[in-house]
């Protein structure tokens, strides 16, 4: 089955063309991993991975970095951010983490409105971490409501809904190797 005729996902949406190919993602991820390694030369980097969307990006980054990487996960979900609602962000799994003196890199799939990243950064301010940086595979600057500094950014994209390379729509498409635009079915 080819990528474009696969079943799954909401019935009114279809998989559109490739926006960013696996090869382009791989090259960019290697660049970002090298930057992260340079910025954390001595000692351990603690990845703080925002599930679920950032899982593949985090795994690929970690495999390029030659210094020590520890990996922690949290769950970030937002309500109403797309539909014009309050955009409340719920973070789960952070309270159990001891990040005192850690050098943290938050790993995000997309910074869209910026609310998730900001909520995370607000929380981490109280964590006692030595440093906190943000890596995001994608950014949609035209959608920004809260300005956040992204230290390691893969690609800026326009305001399209995208899937693949870890990112979903209704839990479908996460395993696609390329990033695709999702389109309304004709």
Q: For binding to ligand IMP (CB under 6 A), which residues are involved?
A: 50, 53, 78, 81, 108-117, 161-163, 167
Binders of Mg ion in range 55-114 (CB under 5 A): 109
- The entry of Mg ion, ligand IMP, none that residue 32 binds, CB within 5 to 8 Å by partner kind: none
Q: How far apart are CA 136 and CA 178, in angstroms?
A: 16
- 162 makes contact, choosing from Mg ion, ligand IMP, none, with CB < 5 to 8 Å by partner type, with ligand IMP
Query: Residue 46 or 140: which CB sits closer to ligand IMP?
Result: 140
| Residue 53 engages Mg ion in binding (rule: CB under 5 A) | yes
Say if residues 135 and 152 touch (Cβ distance below 8 Å).
yes
Residue 68 beta carbon to ligand IMP: minimum distance, rounded to whole angstroms = 26
Token couple for 54:
């950032």
Which tokens is 119 given?
């909520």
Q: Which of 137, 109, 105, 97 is nearest to 40 (CA)?
A: 105
Q: Which one, of 23, 14, 4, lies nearest residue 177 by Cα?
A: 23
Least Cβ distance, residue 168 to Mg ion (angstroms): 9
């Amino acid at each position: 089955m080819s990528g474009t005729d696969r079943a799954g996902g909401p019935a009114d949406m279809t998989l559109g063309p490739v926006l960013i190919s696996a090869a382009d993602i791989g090259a960019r991820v290697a660049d970002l991993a090298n930057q992260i390694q340079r910025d954390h030369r001595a000692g351990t980097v603690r990845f703080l991975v925002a599930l679920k969307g950032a899982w593949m990006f985090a795994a690929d980054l970690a495999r390029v970095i030659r210094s020590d990487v520890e990996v922690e996960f949290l769950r970030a979900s937002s309500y109403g951010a797309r539909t014009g609602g309050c955009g409340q962000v719920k973070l789960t799994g952070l309270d159990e983490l001891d990040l005192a003196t850690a050098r943290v890199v938050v790993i995000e799939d997309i910074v869209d409105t910026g609310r998730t990243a900001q909520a995370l950064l607000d929380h981490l301010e109280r964590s006692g971490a030595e440093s906190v940086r943000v890596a995001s595979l994608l950014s949609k600057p035209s959608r920004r409501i809260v300005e956040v500094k992204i230290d390691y950014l893969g690609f800026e994209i326009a305001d399209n809904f995208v899937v693949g390379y870890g990112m979903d729509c209704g839990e479908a498409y996460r395993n696609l190797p390329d990033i695709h635009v999702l389109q309304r079915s004709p």
